Amino acid sequence: MIILWDHSYGKQEQQDLVICRPLGIPESHDEAEMVACGWLALDRPIWHEGRWQEAFYQSRSTRVKLRNYRRPRESKEYQYNGKPIQMMEIRPEKNFLRWTGLQQVYDAYLKRTGYRDLYNPLTHVNARDTFLLYYQDEVTNLLGFSKIKRYWWQEDIMSVSRSYDDDDAVNNPDDCLAIESVMHANTVPISKITLDMELVWAKRKGADYFYMGSGYEKSSVYKAHVPGFQWWTGTTWSTNKKRYIQLCERDSKISKISDLAK
């Protein structure tokens, strides 16, 4: 693995402070080992050695050990307003995102939740990416979508630097090590329902783990209540839900770097 450091912030006039974000580029058969050590694929490419490449990042990652996942009793039927919610996986081909309506769903999601547009899942699409669509009656009646990434045991199944701009982009096999839900957006509040749909789907695909991205601030507390939950401390995968929730709540209270000293 090639380790890089994204230098984000620094002080040198009154303080000696450097803040940088670790990034990693897999080499050879690194991918499975990197994912096991808390690394996940960054959704946007980075410029390295004269070309755009996919990189991995470190964070307080969260995941579900699918062998330990059990569906909640109330999730036997996936419905919203008394009508069934259907799900379909699609692989984005060239120019795919122009006509799907996913951008409109994402815009409605930001408006409904009040979140800032810090990360648009439609800007970059890698060869490991697919989308799960949630709809009622017809696929054109979209309620939401999730962006999905797959991680593999064998490096030669997929070139991690390949994107859908390549004419020889490979298909996504199901025999993957792990599946990650990168981003979920919706026009109505169905996140709890679709999370269970994703977990059941990933378990049927044969994945060992389902990754739920980073776990920061109060909005990530719900992840601790998923059966089979684990979080990355930086050195190990922990099942200490109480400590995870404490950290998330602390995150939301911190607004200045100086608060970390407290």
pLDDT tens series, the chain, 262 aa: 899 999 988 889 988 888 899 999 988 678 888 999 999 999 999 999 899 999 999 999 999 999 999 887 665 678 999 899 999 998 876 556 555 789 899 999 999 988 888 888 888 888 889 999 999 998 889 999 999 999 986 544 444 444 434 433 344 445 678 999 999 999 999 998 999 999 999 999 889 999 999 999 999 999 999 999 999 999 999 999 999 999 999 999 988 877 776 6
Residue with the two structure tokens 């969260």: 62
AA identity, residue 37? C
Length of the chain: 262
Alpha-carbon distance 241 to 220, whole Å? 12
CA-based nearest residue to 64, from 216, 183, 179, 197: 179
Alpha-carbon distance 112 to 194, whole Å? 17
For the segment(s) 2-261, the CATH number from 2.60.120.10, 3.60.21.10, 3.40.630.30, 3.40.50.2000 is 3.40.630.30
Q: List the domain boundaries for the chain.
A: 2-261
Q: Specify whether the CB–CB gap between 31 and 156 falls below 8 A.
A: no
H helical segments located in the chain = 31-36, 102-113, 191-205, 241-253
Q: DSSP label at 95? A: T
The sign one gets for the Cα dihedral 251, 253, 257, 260 is negative
61-65 and 46-48 as β-strands: parallel, antiparallel, unpaired? unpaired
